[in-house]
Amino acid sequence: MILQALYEYGQRKATVLAPEGFDWKEIPFVCRISQDGGFIGFEDTRQSVDNKKIAKSFLVPALGEQKGNGIKANLLWENAEYFFGIPTKETSKASRVAEQAAAFREKIKLSVTDSSKAPWKATLQFLESLPLDDLKQQALWPEICLPTSLIILAMDGIGVLTEHPDITTCSDEPSQPSDECEFGFSLISGKKVELARLLPAIQGIRDANATGASFVAVNN
């Protein structure tokens, strides 16, 4: 009953809460590209509030689980290691960073309705032929390469690409179950569904880690 009541509350708050499959995420930097895949520049979304810099919140596709130690790319928004294939820590291994960048591009190819049409063709063209010399000349580059920084893609004349109709459509389509998935009955709908092995971190929990708290966790 409690879970059903919470679900119904979420449905009533649909205009405030992020829709299923999406999250509101504070992202300090926008990477803006042209419709032919050229680099335009970086934008800083942060504003000073009570002597603190607060980044603008964007509606973005949720990963649906915690990353842990695995390589799991977000769709059209990420940190510099995934986004540009640039190590952000002294301990970052070049081979792993290359895998992260490849995973970021592959996520776009698999998630959009047709990666051969605009704007996705231009987006992939930009990511696969990054003008790193131009990027490194930008004033915001040192901050963008910090481990905690996040970047989101935007295209001139279209806007932030996570808000493109293709992305909204993809988020509504059920994912194909993997060969290793387990099934059970939903406590909300009563239907047989694929069980989630990992869940995203829950934000706003008192005394929890800044990155969020686990819904269920065990300390080995």
pTM of the predicted model over 0.85: no
Mean pLDDT of the chain: 86
Q: Has residue 219 got a pLDDT over 90?
A: no
Question: What are all long-range contacts of 187-192, with beta carbons under 8 Å and residues at least 24 apart?
Answer: 187/3, 187/4, 188/3, 188/4, 188/7
Q: Omega into 200 within 30° of 0, i.e. cis?
A: no
The C-alpha atoms of residue 98 and residue 184 are separated, in whole angstroms, by 37
- Predicted local distance difference test score (pLDDT) of residue 220: 66
- Predicted local distance difference test score (pLDDT) of residue 114: 84
Contact 153, 31 (CB under 8 A): yes
Q: Has residue 14 got a pLDDT over 90?
A: no
| Residues 56-74, mean pLDDT to the nearest whole number | 88
| Residues 30-34, mean pLDDT to the nearest whole number | 97
- Report the sign of the C-alpha dihedral through residues 130, 136, 139, 142, in that order: positive
Q: Given pLDDT bands bounded at 50, 70 and 90, which one contains residue 58?
A: very high
The C-alpha atoms of residue 57 and residue 60 are separated, in whole angstroms, by 9
Tell me the per-residue pLDDT of 107-149, one tens digit each, with 9 for 90 and over: 999 988 788 888 999 999 999 999 999 999 999 999 999 999 9
Q: Which two structure tokens, joined as six digits, stand for 49? A: 């509030």
Q: Given pLDDT bands bounded at 50, 70 and 90, which one contains residue 3?
A: confident
